[in-house]
Amino acid sequence: MMKNFMKKIFFVACLLAPALLSAQQPLKETLDPAIRVGKLENGLTYYLCHNNLPENRVEFYIAQRVGSILEEEHQRGLAHFLEHMAFNGTTHFPGKDIINYLENNGVKFGANLNAYTSIDETVYNISDVPAREGLIDSCLLILHDWASGILLEGDEIDAERKVIHEEWRTRNSANLRMLEAILPIIYPDSNRYAYRMPIGLMEVVDNFPHQAIRDYYHKWYRPDLQGIIVVGNIDVDKVEARIKELWKDVPAPVDAAVREYVQVPDNDAPIVAVVSDKEALSNSLRIAFKQPVDTTSKMTVEATRKDLVRSLVSMMFATRCSELSQLENPPFIMAAGSYGDYFYSPTRKAYTLVAIFKTGQWKQALEGLVSVTKQAYEFGFTQSELDRAVAEMESYVRKSYNERSTQKNSKFVDKALTHFLQQEPEFSEEYSYELYNQLLPGVTLKDVNETFRQFFPTDSKNMSLVLMSDENENSVIPTEEELLNTFFEDCKIAVEPYKDEHQERSLIPQMPEKGRIVKTTENKIFDATEYTLSNGAKVVIKTTDFKADEIQMYALSHGGTSLFDVKDRPNYYVMNSLVSLGGMGDFSTMELMKQLSGIQASVSASVSSYAETVSGSSTIKDFETLLQLTYLRFTTTRVDSARYVAWKSRMTNSLKLSESDPMRPISDTVSYLTYGNHERVRRFTQDDLDKVDYQRALDLFSSRVDNAADFVFIFIGNIDKEAAKPLIEQYIGALPSTGKHEKANGKVMPKERTGYRESIFDQKMETPKTMVYITYSGKEKYNLKNTIVMSMLSQVMRTVYTETIREEEGGTYGVSTSGSLSRTPKNSFSYVIAFDTNKEQASSLADRTIAELKKVAEEGPSTETFDNIRAYMQKEYESSIKENKYWASSLINYYMYGNDFYTDYLKTLNSVTPQDVQKMAKKVVTSKNLMKVIRYGIPEDSAE
């Protein structure tokens, strides 16, 4: 099979490192030396690191090398169930005391306190904890309890069954169903990976005896399989001593069960799986080639170099796939190839090709994927492709190195998790910079081409071919035999060598006439500098050092699509997509991507209902490129007819697939009950797509960015103002201008329907899932205090609904509830309550959510809940003001709308009372504008 394409390479010369490095030598670092790692006599591993970003915060993690793969048949789902139980009572924190204690200290359940269970690992975290000695000690005690002191009380177990059943209902999507269908095929012979998805079996979850979960806990949660990670503003010596003291009462396991890692054997014949689902919203093809098990150490320079070469191969292959996807009649929507785990098993690696394709076009996708792979296999990559990939990799490494002094706690946590769970090296930024700068220049074309060819066998052993399809009248679903035979036939197709026709050239061939700064003003509120340019554009620069090598840009003006005639809706609806389709200046999208290889700068644009925005970011080195791209985005649109044809075909496919989206009836109903069939907000249809005029859409965009005087340009980051000034004059000062200023036209936008509106309907579904959606709306002044109060009300109700709808009723995995204030087209509020549930409880739970909101309106929030939320918001504020994105939001709010939400934030937050929240709740529930939608999910085979 594939005589010339899949030729087996039994012997390949070793990948040679540069002369200054011996490929076989061990790495100088296997873990960032900023992290202290140790192991107790009982086998517990710990990772400790002092870091002060965010300031005065600490992260606590306990990672376990255990997951659902270790469940016995009668325990399927209990690894995940156990994760839930960790928040329902431990030795030192009975009941909900972990949640209550931490929320009393500004640590929010869900946002900062969480966990996940996967097939081979389980991780718990307490994040963003204020660095107070007593609190640090208590968090270590919580980790200790999770490790060996979860109570697993019978009543608590029984109460949690319904919650997990509702989580299963919420997560049971088309993708999950198709995945569960293919797993026994790609993992044959009763391999455990086929039957150990963490959510488990509901017949087990609903009925298991209490002892079953206790057995799992005591068998697998033990120190030799656990890693403690503490990162932040800590005294490492003190924390280390405290860990040793706490865990001295946890003995090393005696006659412990062996933690075996399930192996994935070779397959002598191709594995083929074809699955489909009526609710699938995409089509995918995966071809995986199992790789020989590598028993060599990961802790050598050679292993790192191999990983580096594989990464370069993936980058180059992805670029070729991207080029194919941009043809007028592309074989697939997108495709890529990567080296990694064989599906879900870390014990077996594979090289996996993936393609996403349009409905019914599996043959085109398969042929395209095989052909682009065969082309690279037979003829290799080119030197120019490798040069660009190396430049791109160098830019990543350089940026990481430049920002080594501004790394957040989460970065060190990730390093420790990877080192413990995957047992892979995690370097410091200094060593990574040194090592990669030594290795990258020595990577040759021979290296990458031989590496790519090694991924593929000469025969059909160790290959898996998986197709996931939608189901509608346009679907074409092959049999497994047809899919495999087509693959073999495609492997015989002759291919031509790849031609890299890109020519390096200037982004802007001829520099425009520069403008000049005519006025400079200091904004003392935000410690920023304002420049007014000769073309009327306003530029605001705020220099920060939160990220050592980051500059963000936001250019905004008022107007948006509200200034377009509604007759142009088909064009302005897709305008943002079409603008990015053609590239910029003289460069197609693909040419621009190649031109910018090794450059960390990007720009995007969008026009919303009331404003237009051009945003971007760059490193310090690439700031001028950011400005050049900004100039091109403002002054040029580019037609790419071939890409437009492909885009229109994808849109047609997407519109058709959306008809199968289980959420569509809900969203359509909500839209209709809110705005009726108003032309500006109704669903975009195939008829609309057929009316799109490509050039007209580009012209509409140009009309919104043709007047620099109407824009404010905001720059935030590590930017040198004096060095930036001549560049700003050259590129922003050169933008065309009319000198006029516009405002959005709120009068043309749809008015929300008023009064009580209700819709209750049945919907056939693969997995019946009932959804409740409730909205209140009305008038409310947009200001800082009301914004804070509405946020507090939302958080109060999340707490209330967790306690009542989730915990007491067991009726949902979680209630999504949020209130928001709008300034345009008029000052108003909206309050939304939404959740999935079962058919039997839907009506009563809908009533109770409203009743609980009314209760807060009548009685106000509890003092404890209110104080917890205020403490959390203050903590979040203290962290956020050290983030560039906070200042971006604040400056946009100030310069676009005249709102200063920074100066008096803490003063206003501390002035808010429980009575203010109660008053806001009363404002919500007394509004006459109430919409209630209940979608009852019923089985597909239900009678009409």
Same domain? 860 vs 878:
yes
Compute how many other C-beta atoms are within 10 angstroms of the C-beta atom of residue 785: 14
According to the model, what pLDDT value does residue 856 have? 99
Please provide residue 648's backbone torsions phi and psi, each rounded to the nearest 5 degrees: -65, -40
Find out whether 87 and 145 touch, Cβ atoms under 8 Å. Answer: no
Q: Where does a domain end: 717, 747, 777?
A: 747
Find out whether 418 and 424 touch, Cβ atoms under 8 Å. Answer: yes
Say which CATH number the domain at 307 has: 3.30.830.10
- Indicate whether 1 belongs to any domain: no
- What's the burial of 598, exposed, middle or buried (CB within 10 Å: 0-12/13-18/19+)? middle
Q: Where does a domain end: 475, 490, 505?
A: 490
Q: Where does a domain end: 747, 780, 800?
A: 747
**pLDDT tens track for 759-782:** 999 999 999 999 999 999 999 999
- Indicate whether 498 belongs to any domain: no
According to the model, what pLDDT value does residue 20 have? 37
- Indicate whether 351 belongs to any domain: yes
Same domain? 819 vs 848:
yes
Q: Which residue, 212, 214, 208, 184, is CA-closest to 196? A: 184
Q: How far apart are CA 888 and CA 716, in angstroms?
A: 7
Same domain? 279 vs 156:
no
- Indicate whether 24 belongs to any domain: no
Per-chain mean pLDDT for the chain: 96
According to the model, what pLDDT value does residue 13 have? 27
Same domain? 524 vs 657:
yes
Same domain? 679 vs 760:
no
Range of the domain at 682: 517-747
Q: What is the DSSP string of 490-514?
A: HTTS--PPP--------SSSSPPPP
Same domain? 479 vs 523:
no
Residues 6+ apart with CB under 8 A from 431: 28, 29, 32
According to the model, what pLDDT value does residue 944 have? 61
**pLDDT tens track for 333-359:** 999 999 999 999 999 999 999 999 999
Same domain? 782 vs 856:
yes
Sequence letter at residue 416: A
Same domain? 703 vs 559:
yes
According to the model, what pLDDT value does residue 293 have? 83
pLDDT over 90 percentage in the chain: 95
Mean predicted confidence (pLDDT) in 296-314:
96
Same domain? 824 vs 922:
yes
**pLDDT tens track for 362-377:** 999 999 999 999 999 9
Residues 6+ apart with CB under 8 A from 297: 26, 303
- Indicate whether 32 belongs to any domain: no
Which ranges of 380-497 would DSSP assign to H, the alpha helix? 383-402, 409-417, 429-439, 445-454, 480-490
Mean predicted confidence (pLDDT) in 472-495:
97
According to the model, what pLDDT value does residue 942 have? 74
Q: What is the DSSP string of 566-620?
A: GGGHHHHHHHHHHHHHS-BTTB-HHHHHHHTTT--EEEEEEE-SSEEEEEEEE-S
Residue where the block lists tokens 């309890």: 145
- What's the burial of 616, exposed, middle or buried (CB within 10 Å: 0-12/13-18/19+)? buried
Mean predicted confidence (pLDDT) in 75-95:
98
State whether residue 706 is helix, strand or coil.
coil
State whether residue 227 is helix, strand or coil.
strand
pLDDT bracket for residue 943 (50, 70, 90): low
- Indicate whether 28 belongs to any domain: no
**pLDDT tens track for 490-545:** 999 999 999 998 999 999 999 999 999 999 999 999 999 999 999 999 999 999 99
State whether residue 437 is helix, strand or coil.
helix
Q: How far apart are CA 910 and CA 866, in angstroms?
A: 11
Q: How far apart are CA 468 and CA 631, in angstroms?
A: 43
Find out whether 544 and 607 touch, Cβ atoms under 8 Å. Answer: no
This prediction's pTM? 0.95
Q: What is the total count of domains within the chain? A: 4
Mean predicted confidence (pLDDT) in 636-655:
97
Same domain? 68 vs 187:
yes
Same domain? 378 vs 481:
yes
- Indicate whether 775 belongs to any domain: yes
- Indicate whether 259 belongs to any domain: no
Same domain? 762 vs 724:
no
